Structure 1
Amino acid sequence: MVISKTLFSSFLICLVILHLVESDTTMVINDIVENPSPSPLPPTIDCHAACNRRCPLSSRPNLCNRACKSCCERCNCVPSGTYGNYQECLCYANITTHGGRHKCP
């Protein structure tokens, strides 16, 4: 009698464990199907080179390069030319100082 109760309880425990493993696997598979991995991030640009192209005509090129690199690292873009063209990179254009002026050159 004791052996049959032990065998029966072991069998029930195995069934419960099997059910839990199966439901866990199903949840993982459903999660993968419903939430595919996000698209890869766009490639980063070379901020040093982009800012060197942007700041050579500045009256304070070191300050311009420092601000430009900071903005480039945040936005991953730098507008073309040496001044203006903010419509090419809205993130770059929208970063302001505490005084409300453009931070990015």
Structure 2
Amino acid sequence: MEAEAAKLIGAGIACFGMAGAGIGVGNIFGSYLNGALRNPSAAPAQFTNALIGAALAEGLGIFSLVIALLLIFVA
């Protein structure tokens, strides 16, 4: 019974990575929008960089979700 509780607590802690990914993506696009409003001519060139940064941040969030699901269903 204690192992089941520890497993669920560990999965909950692993889910904090998804919250961090959401904060990171919001920060990336907020900074992009701030820069695009300051210099609209440079915005199209920086949009690709913003998408790559968001994809990397979301990748870490998905990784933490996979770890949480592994803790719940496999361990």
TM value normalised by structure 1: 0.32
- Structure with more of its chain in helix, by fraction: 2
Flag the structure with larger Rg: 1
Structure with bigger RCO (C-alpha 8 Å, 6+ apart):
2
